[in-house]
Amino acid sequence: MELEIQTLAYGGRGVARRGGEVWFVSGALPGERVVAAEERRRRGIVEARVVDVLSCSSWREPEPCPKALGACGGCDFAHVAIGFREKAYKVALFGALRGAPESLAQAVAKAVFVPSPWYYRLRGRLHWAPEAGQLGFFASSSHRVADLGGCRVLSQELLALLPAWAQCLQRAGVPAGELEFLEDVAAKRRLLLFRGAFSGHLPRLPGVDGFWGLRGRGWGERELILELPLPLAVPVGAFVQGNRFLLSAIWNTVAAVVREGGFLRVLDLYGGVGFLAAAAQAGGAQEVTVVEVSKRAAQAARANLPQARVLPMPAEVAVGQGALGGASLLILDPPRGGLSPAVRQAVASSQASAVLYISCDAACLARDAWLLQSGGFAVRWAKLFDLFAGTHHVELAVLFQRA
C-alpha cells in the first residue's frame, strides 16, 4: 500500500490516513511517501511496516543499522538521523502529551535535548537461545533471537565477546533465559546475571569478572565500581541508568537543581544504588533519604552513601510511614508505569517545595502531572535525555515547584 506519512505517533510509528482508516507504519517518517505492508488490522486502525521508501524525509539516516526494523527489534528509531532525533522525539511526544497540562506540553516543546553517541549501553539484557546458539535481542514482533553483529547500541568490546560466550553457554548446557550484563563506563570490566532456571555450574566466560544466577550461585565479583562521576558500587542486577555517556549530564542536572534551589533536605523515592541521591549530595544537600525496594540495591546505597538514611521498602510503604515529611525536594524516577495512586496522592499533598520527576513514559508523566498541578505544583522546565538512542524511548526530566 502506498501512503503519505503525515506525522509521528507516540511510540515512533509514522501516521497516515487512507480510506477512513489510520495507518501506523514502523520505519516511516513525516513527509515521506512509502510502500507499507499491512501486519494487523482492527476497527479502522492498521499496523504496518515500511517495505520501500519512495520519497525520503531529511530526517532519515542514510546508513542505518542493517539489522534494524526487522532482523533485530532492539532499535525502532535507527532510521532517524542523529541530527534530527530531537525533532522526531518532540513530534512523537506531542501525541502522548495531548492530555497533559498545557504547561507540561509547552515545557517539553522548548526542552533542552541532550543527545547520545552510539555504543552507549552499560547495562541491559540479552536473550539466550541455546537451540540456535544465539545471544541477542529479539527480532521485531518475534521471539527469535537476532544476531547482533554490527550492533550500534552495545559496546564494541562486549560485542566482540558474544560468540565466545555463546559457545561456553552451549557447552555448559545452560538453558534458555536472559543474560543481564553490567559494564563499567570504560567497557573494560563486566558482570553477568543469568535469569533462568539452571541448577548447574555457570561457566567461566572470557572478559567477565563475575557470573551469577538468581539463586546466588555463581563465581567472581558481584558488583562493579562505576565512576558516575563519583565512584559508586553497583551490584549486577540492580538498577542504574544504562547510558554510559549521559550519566554525567543527569548527575549535573540533579546537582544543579539542588544547588540553585538551595534544597537541604532531599528524598529520592526510587533510589536504586543511590546515584541521584549522591548527585543531590554533591549539589549541597545536607540530609538525604533514599527509598529502595530492592534489598541488594538498598545495601549498595547504604555503602555508597554512609551519611544518608536508606529505607529498604516499597515507595508506597515509605509514604504511608511519613517519609516525605520534612523534605524540601522530592526526586522521583519511578518504573515505566509511573507513580502508583497512593504515591501520587502523597506527593501532591506533601509540603515539599519542589519535585524533580524523571520519566521514560510521557503518557504516565502526563497523568501524574495533573495531580501535582492540583496540589499546587507548577512546571518550571523540562529536559530530554537521549538515554535510549536508536529507540523511540526518551528520558524526560521535569522540575515542578510550588506555584
Mean pLDDT of each 10-residue bin along the chain, 403 residues long: 95 93 96 96 94 96 82 88 95 90 97 97 97 92 88 96 97 97 97 95 97 93 93 96 96 98 98 97 98 96 97 98 97 96 97 97 95 97 97 96 92
Domains, the chain: 2-73 (2.40.50.140), 102-116+246-402 (3.40.50.150), 123-229 (2.40.50.1070)
Strand spans (E) along 108-222: 112-114, 123-129, 134-136, 177-183, 190-195, 210-213, 218-220
pLDDT reported for residue 69: 65
Residue in this structure with the C-alpha cell 502506498, named with its chain if needed = 2
pLDDT reported for residue 73: 82
pLDDT reported for residue 70: 67
Between CA 71 and CA 333 the distance in angstroms is 32
pLDDT reported for residue 66: 81
Of 30, 38, 25, give the one whose Cα is nearest residue 7.
30
Residue in this structure with the C-alpha cell 563486566, named with its chain if needed = 190
Question: How many percent of the chain have pLDDT more than 90?
Answer: 91
pLDDT reported for residue 168: 97
Give me the amino acid identity at 22: V
pLDDT reported for residue 141: 76
Between CA 250 and CA 275 the distance in angstroms is 10
pTM score, two decimals? 0.94
Of 153, 148, 141, give the one whose Cα is nearest residue 127.
148
Exposed, middle or buried, 96 (CB in 10 Å: 0-12/13-18/19+)? buried
* All cell numbers assigned to 29: 517518517
